[in-house]
Amino acid sequence: MKKSILLSFAASGLLVFTSCDSRQKLSEEVQGIWAGAPEQLTSTGAARATMVRALEFTPTGDAGEGNVTLTAYITVENTMPANDSIVTPMTITAAGTATITGLYQAKDDDDMLINLDDSSLSVTVDPEGVQLNYDILSGDSGSQLSTLRPAAVILASQQIEHAARNVFFNLSEIEDIKVNNNIMECEIGHHDLTFRRQETTRQ
């Protein structure tokens, strides 16, 4: 009887150790910065929107946990039809960067729980990077572009922040993580994604 109990405790201890070891292995495998491929976004209010994700994992312990920083480089494109103020259709293109931080915890050898701090969300849009393009230029195009630019910047900022919130605030887990050298495949929000490890420059 004693022998059976000892064997049971030994097996339980081995299982716990193996589980911790597999979680820590995953944490170490994902350490670093990863960049994804362009993704199409919907429900942004823009005529067209794309995003490129970047993930940064920094292990902080030996049980598969650490800090995570998620960045989304988002581009939106809007089309304004001709009206009393605009004699020809105009395309507005803007790009912004959204960043959020939080914690991760490896759940097993290929799944990771993500706990993001919503209050850390930061969205920036460069006003000078907002492009307003008429299909047909006229003599008044320059002055009209200057007049419309502030409103275009506000619209793009709202759309980029809305897109970032949709992407980040619904993210609680990264699943089916597979790391092969500098390539990471995973599933985020029921989408299969591929990331490439980025080289970091040491000071």
Per-residue confidence (pLDDT) for residue 174, from 0 to 100? 97
What CA–CA distance (Å, rounded) separates 26 from 12? 21
Per-residue confidence (pLDDT) for residue 100, from 0 to 100? 98
Per-residue confidence (pLDDT) for residue 71, from 0 to 100? 98
**Which ranges constitute the DSSP H helices of the chain?**
2-30, 141-168
Amino acid identity at 7 = L
List CB contacts of 193: < 8 A, sequence separation 6 or more.
36, 37, 39, 53, 185, 186, 187
The predicted-structure confidence for 94-130, as pLDDT tens digits, reads as follows 999 999 999 999 999 999 999 999 999 999 998 888 8
Per-residue confidence (pLDDT) for residue 42, from 0 to 100? 86
Those residues of the chain that have pLDDT short of 50 are 2, 5-18, 137-139, 202-203
